[in-house]
Amino acid sequence: MAGWHIGVIGGSGLYDPGELESDVQQIAVGSAFGAPSSPVEMGRIGHVKFSFIARHGEGHRLSPGQVNYRANIDALKRCGVTDVLAISAIGSLREDLAPGTFVAVDQFIDRTTGRERSFFGEGVVAHVGLADPVCPRLSKFAADAARKAGAKIHRGGTYVAIEGPQFSTRAESHLYRSWGADVIGMTALPEARLAREAELPYALLAMVTDYDAWRDAEAGVEAAEILAVMRANAETARRTLAELARALPEERAASPIDRALDAALVTPRSAWTRQATARLDAVMRRLLVEESAEG
């Protein structure tokens, strides 16, 4: 079995992974799907390799709807990552999830409307299973690491992803609560969908920065307040990565998600177009390598 290579996608307030211990380098990774949000910063903490992308770019120049989610996941796949840990800011839809709490999200409701949601569909069609969109193994490791880093951690929760960039109206916020959603954000989808298509186990460690607009007696959400809470929690997030590196076993056992495409591809191999195969050379790398070895 191979070792761990964690791709980290840092959200608002987390624009760098902190002190990597060895083999540190920053590289510009090209993608068939356009430009990723930022160069990839690589390095090691102990025996674990990390590759970090700033989701909103250097200087937070990309709004949630402008992030090239396909390019980010494709770039991490090209770097050889085995798993993806996303770190994001979220609003709370529950009284007991107070600002400062870290939530290991495990379900999603998608309310985004204008984003590329799939790598597939032009020359190769695939339908991956997404009933359980988060990798339970990685999510547990991340939640345990956050707790050891000093965070108050809530395990499990449903994240409603909205298009943004505006925050919710009060009516919308009440609606999402009635659906049973626990937290709200703008970036986890289509990110989690694309990670599954790329056969990358995905976990989301989200930091509550505010109560959403459902508290009628209080003022609405302001971006400045969110960023202030995120900056206060950024160091805890960096310590979480160090704790995660210490907790992961040296050898990474295989995950079922590593072979998510086995039952997903519906276009027969004989019908794959050359253009699609070239575009998907990273996403479908395992299948293409196995086919080459057989042929």
The pLDDT assigned to 13 comes to 62
Residue closest to 192 by CA, chosen among 241, 271, 139: 139
Q: What sign for the dihedral angle of Cα 138, 199, 41, 70? A: negative
The predicted structure's pLDDT at residue 242: 94
DSSP per position, 227-263: HHHHHHHHHHHHHHHHHHHHHS-SS----GGGGTTTT
Q: Is residue 212 flagged as an active site residue?
A: yes
Summarize pLDDT for 89-122 with one digit per residue, the tens. Answer: 999 999 999 999 999 999 999 999 999 999 999 8
| Predicted confidence (pLDDT) at residue 227 exceeds the cutoff of 90 | no
Question: Which domains are seen in the chain, by residue range?
Answer: 5-294 (3.40.50.1580)
- Selected catalytic residue, list 212, 258, 262, 281: 212
Residue 231 pLDDT level (bands cut at 50, 70, 90): confident
Transcribe 198-237 into DSSP letters.
TT--EEEEEEEEEE-TT-TTS----HHHHHHHHHHHHHHH
Read off the pLDDT of each residue in 137-148 and give the average, rounded to a whole number.
98
Q: List, for residues 271-285, the tens digit of each pLDDT value.
A: 999 999 999 999 999
Task: Quickly state the pLDDT bin for 57 (edges 50, 70, 90).
Answer: very high
pLDDT bracket for residue 147 (50, 70, 90):
very high
Active-site hit among 210, 216, 258, 281 = 210
